[in-house]
Chains A and B, each alone.
Chain A
Amino acid sequence: MGTIGEAVRRRRSGLRAGVAGRILDFALIAIIAAFLILLGTKVVAQGGSFFVQILTFAVANGGIYALIALGYTMVYGIIELINFAHGDVFAFGAFLSGSLLPIFGLREGGAFTPVSAVALLAVFALTMLACAFLNISIERIAYRPLRHAPRLAPLITAVGVSFFLEGALFLWKGPSNVHYPNILPNAGFELFGATIGVKDLLVIGISLILMFALGLFVQRSRLGKAMRATAQDRDAALLMGIDIDRTIAATFFIGAILAGAGGTMYGLYYNTSVFDLGFSAGLVAFTAAVFGGIGNIYGAAIGGMVIGMIRTFWDGYFDSAWTDVMIFTILILVLIFRPTGLLGMRVPEK
């Protein structure tokens, strides 16, 4: 009976639990602070221009991860499913846009004219639509029939779909890195001794615009409100006359639009892609979504930015072989110490 007395003593007041939570938060902050201090010494040692350069990469990288993370968080918010295939939809976006560019007359080394800008816009639009269509089909075929099945079932199909898509990309382009045409001008300007290119500005600009548009959409539009209502309480939303199937499909649609844009920008930025890009990028983006608080779109945007930046800074200043180990360690620590993330909502177990 000793254990019970002990447990009772431990849990007698909510205050204790609060203190324990505080300590864990404090530990987390201490770890982050330690990292920042370590980083700070390196930054000072290596000079300011290198730092500005890395910072630019970091923000661009963070923007791309934020776009992917949004898709994870939206789908999780509405049907509580970790859509494993989402990262592969992103990778599909990168592959598809890479193949579309030459068709639209955008070739590596060609001059970038206003016409090319329009063509690039068309590639963006087509890729985003194709990804959206793909994601909706995935939902329709693999997830919707299992909506009332035990929880494990759709999670396993999600893993299956992810493998299927990776397999399809593997068949399409093979096992090695695929070159992505470098069509953007290499021009840029100097800032504190670092070069900020058109690419950087384009990626940062487009991701900010898309995130802002998504925020407006979710807050203001009818469909956005329906999404928030469905995420909060599916049954109540149903009673209020919201078409659940349509709302869920719309969520997959929008998530994939962002992933498609992210995939295109990834290609334009890094000029390379590989069949299992979606797996690694997806895991990082999912980490970002969890970090920000899964289910919360602002959390995903911030989380994506932060994780993307941590990654780039680590790559820049430390041994990049350990980057992924560090990211996944963050994932596990966040889930253990602060499962609701930075801005997370509390979701009851279903």
Chain B
Amino acid sequence: MTVEAAAPILRVDHVTKRFGGLVAVDDVTFDVKKGEIFALIGPNGAGKTTLFNGITGIFPPTTGRVIFQDREITGAKPHQVATLGIARTFQNIRLFEYMSALDNVRLGQHCRMSAKLWDSLFKTPLERREERRVTDRAIELLKFVGIERYTHTYARNLPYGSQRRLEIARALATNPALLLLDEPAAGFTPQEKVELMGLVHKIVDNGVTVFLIEHDMKVVMGVSRRIVVLDHGEKIAEGTPEQVRNDQRVIEAYLGKQH
């Protein structure tokens, strides 16, 4: 069940983001289709993370619209975006360092829990049941990403690769329809990269659309069917890995113009 459903899950529509005079993202438009692995690539400073921040509401776009599952989410607050079903990881891992791996993933389920202040204060049966469910689900997710042996370890004490995996588990805990991964393979060995690609495929097989930023062309080419290339905030190419690889502007952006 990969690309048979062609309906867009996320539409980025003429999005521009300015910081003062600096245009970080310049009139970018593309669709992410339901069930696919979609990649956003580009050299350093191309505006990839800024675009992620725009989608997730951390820094709303200056102009343009973001449409998720036919609903406009431009300017929604980050927690609203997450509740609607977009989860993300961060380029420079942002785990809750002094919480256990288990608690990190349990926190990810926060917006899917219904216990109110009253339930928490008096530990009502509803609260107990929900906590049990959330714990079970958290352990399931830790297993899914393959770090269950670190369940009770503080996040900061996990090895680097496992921290990236924990971040993915935490994001999956929000039960997203769309998962944004910001350079998930950064700093990985080739072996780890292969394992990560396997994990990404597993996530998609579970019905979650994956939209990832990657710096390493090889990872992207191997994992995704469709790619958008940003350079200096502008979209310079879009298409299959082959199309992008042979695109003159992409080659120039990555290798510099040969004059």
Contact = CB atoms under 8 A, between A and B. Distances in A.
Q: Do A and B come from one complex?
A: yes
A7 B78 CA distance: 12
B60 A8 contact: no
A122 B43 CA distance: 63
A18 interface: no
Nearest to B83: A4
B28 interface: no
B83 A8 contact: no
Interface stretch (B69-77, B150-158, B161-169): B69-77
Given A11-B60, A14-B62, A4 B84 contact: yes
Majority secondary structure, A binding face? helix
Contact of A11 (B75, B83, B84): B75
A283 B172 CA distance: 47
B12 to A, nearest CB: 16
B80 interface: yes
A12 interface: yes
Interface string B14-29: 0000000000000000
Nearest to A13: B75
Interface string A1-29: 10110011001101000000000000000
Contacts of A3: 80
Nearest to B60: A11
Contacts of A12: 72, 74-75
B65 to A, nearest CB: 9
A191 B83 CA distance: 68
Contacts, number: 25
A15 to B, nearest CB: 11
A8 B75 contact: yes
Nearest to B77: A7
A7 B72 CA distance: 11
A8 B73 contact: yes
Nearest to B65: A12
A7 to B, nearest CB: 6
B62 A7 contact: no
Contacts of B74: 8, 11-12
Q: How many interface residues does chain A have, given as a range?
A: under 10
Contacts of A1: 84
Nearest to A16: B75
A4 B60 contact: no
B21 to A, nearest CB: 15
Pick from B72, B73, B76, B83 the residue with the most CB of A within 10 Å: B76
Interface in B56-92: 60, 62, 72-77, 80, 83-84
Contacts of A4: 73, 76, 80, 83-84
Contacts of A7: 75-77, 80
Given A4-B83, A4-B84, A11 B76 contact: yes
Contacts of A14: 62
Nearest to B72: A8
Contacts of B75: 7-8, 11-12
B257 to A, nearest CB: 30
B148 to A, nearest CB: 31
Nearest to B80: A4
Contacts of A8: 72-76, 80
A1 B71 CA distance: 11
B79 to A, nearest CB: 10
Contacts of B73: 4, 8
A12 B80 CA distance: 14
A7 B76 CA distance: 6
B68 to A, nearest CB: 11
Nearest to A11: B75
A3 B73 CA distance: 12
B25 to A, nearest CB: 16
B54 to A, nearest CB: 13
A309 B18 CA distance: 41
A141 B167 CA distance: 39
21 contacts: A1-B84, A3-B80, A4-B73, A4-B80, A4-B83, A4-B84, A7-B75, A7-B77, A8-B72, A8-B73, A8-B74, A8-B75, A8-B76, A8-B80, A11-B60, A11-B74, A11-B75, A11-B76, A12-B74, A12-B75, A14-B62
Interface of A: 1, 3-4, 7-8, 11-12, 14
Closest 9 A-B residue pairs measured CB to CB?
A11-B75, A4-B80, A8-B76, A12-B75, A4-B76, A8-B75, A7-B76, A8-B72, A7-B80
Interface of B: 60, 62, 72-77, 80, 83-84
Given A4-B84, A8-B73, A11-B74, 8 more contacts: A3-B80, A4-B73, A4-B83, A7-B80, A8-B72, A8-B76, A12-B75, A14-B62
